[in-house]
Amino acid sequence: MSKENKIDAVGMGFLDSLPRKVVTVYLPLVVFLIVLLFPFYWMAITAVKPEAELLSREGNPFWVIAPTLSHFHKLLFETSYPQWLWNTVMVSVISTGFSLVASVFAAYAIERLRFRGAKHVGLAIFLAYLVPPSILFIPLANVVFQLGLFDTRWGLILTYPTFLIPFCTWLLMGYFCSIPAELEECAQIDGASRWQVLVKIVLPLAVPGLISAGIFAFTLSWNEFIYALTFISSSEVKTVPVGVVTELVQGDVYQWGPLMAGALLGSLPVAFVYSFFVEYYVSGLTGSVKE
């Protein structure tokens, strides 16, 4: 056995001992899971606690004695939460789809067409993503108002791509760069057009990257707050993040039960998307890092 192999064997043997494995693997993993899952646990128990337990200082605050679904009933049947949820789904899906289409064209053009200044354009697109929405919403508010889109879903659908497209373009640039250019050159030699190369070769190979970019775009648009708060005023057009905060908080009175129920239900779609596409998500991130 060579010296390098002996060193590797000794290094891996460090984890053979159970006490060492507990300290170096299991204990950090348990701490990480507790920190990660505790907010969801707190939302869940608060959402099913009756008002008496929420206001009481006695008993165990980390457990529920008499769980109830009254907060969910109030949220779903006494507020506009179902409409807020539908608005959020509609805005997120449409803006994500539009952003992905635009990002595919932009990323492919920057990585494959090799025009002068392509790398600088890619850097500029990524830097545009770094501009905080708290600055962009001021000029965008004037544009949205002049176009007659204020207090409409289309006002959000057309403004969300301003921060979705730059990030998705940067992510897809890295993934397109990992696809061998020889595949496209061979297809062009056989007579395929640039459009056929993109649709029949590049996009099927870039499915993990597209899913990864789509998850990011969907999550960003689902959780977006500033634009939705600024451009929407009617209760029936609000999204979940804005509707829960503005409609369930009355002055200094916080309806913690419905608030946590709304936050819990609002987080489930994003968690479902992540869990369903987790393999493609990791693969897309790996491809984007190769740049």
Average pLDDT of the segment spanning 241-251:
85
Q: Are residues 166 and 271 in the same domain?
A: yes
Burial 20-33 (b: 16+ CB within 10 A, else e): eeeeeeeeeeeeee
Are 185 and 280 contained in the same domain? yes
Mean pLDDT value of segment 22-34 = 84
Q: In terms of domains, do 151 and 233 share one?
A: yes
**Same domain? 248 vs 220:** yes
Least confident of 13-17, 58-62, 211-215: 13-17
Q: What share of the chain is helix, strand, coil (3-state, %, to 5)?
A: 80, 0, 20
Q: What is the mean pLDDT of the chain?
A: 83
- Residue 23 sits in the same domain as residue 133: no
Same structural domain for residues 133 and 276? yes
Work out how many domains the chain is built from and give that number.
2
* Residue 253 and residue 151 in one domain: yes
pLDDT of 290: 45
Out of 25, 50, 68, a domain closes at: 68
Same domain, yes or no: 130 and 264: yes
Average pLDDT value for residue range 97-101: 94
pLDDT at 64 over 90: no
Residues 46 and 127 placed together within one structural domain of the fold: no
Half-sphere exposure of 156 (CA within 13 A, CB side): 30
Q: What single letter denotes the amino acid at residue 264?
A: L
Per the CB < 8 A criterion, the answer to whether 222 and 213 are in contact is no
What separation in angstroms does the CA of 53 have from each of 61, 73, 250, 263? Answer: 8, 18, 21, 19
The confidence score (pLDDT) of residue 83 equals 93
Give the domain-ending residue among 20, 46, 68: 68
Output the pLDDT for position 239.
Answer: 92
Cα–Cα–Cα angle for 148, 154, 159, rounded to 5 degrees: 95
Note the pLDDT of residue 96.
94
Query: pLDDT per residue over 216-225, tens digit each?
Result: 899 899 989 9
Q: Give the domain CATH number at 78.
A: 1.10.3720.10
Q: What is the pTM of this model?
A: 0.80
The pLDDT value recorded for residue 291 is 45
Closest CA to 216 of 132, 280, 262, 122: 280
89: pLDDT strictly greater than 90: yes
Residues 37 and 137 both lie in one domain? no
Its domain, for residue 267, covers 74-289
pLDDT over 90, % of the chain:
17
Handedness of CA 117, 122, 128, 130 (dihedral sign): negative
Q: How far apart are CA 84 and CA 156, in angstroms?
A: 13
Least confident of 99-108, 134-143, 164-173, 275-284: 275-284
Boundary of a domain, candidates 68, 94, 121: 68
**Cβ(254)–Cβ(37) below 8 Å:** no
Structure confidence by residue, pLDDT tens digits, 119-169: 788 788 878 778 887 788 888 888 898 888 899 999 999 999 988 998 888
Question: Would you call 163 helix, strand, or coil by DSSP?
Answer: helix
The predicted structure's pLDDT at residue 88: 94
pLDDT tens for residues 174-221? 888 888 888 888 888 888 888 888 888 888 888 888 888 888 899 899
Q: Are 78 and 193 members of one domain?
A: yes
In this structure, are 158 and 44 located in the same domain? Answer: no
- Rounded Cα gap, residues 57 and 20, in angstroms: 41
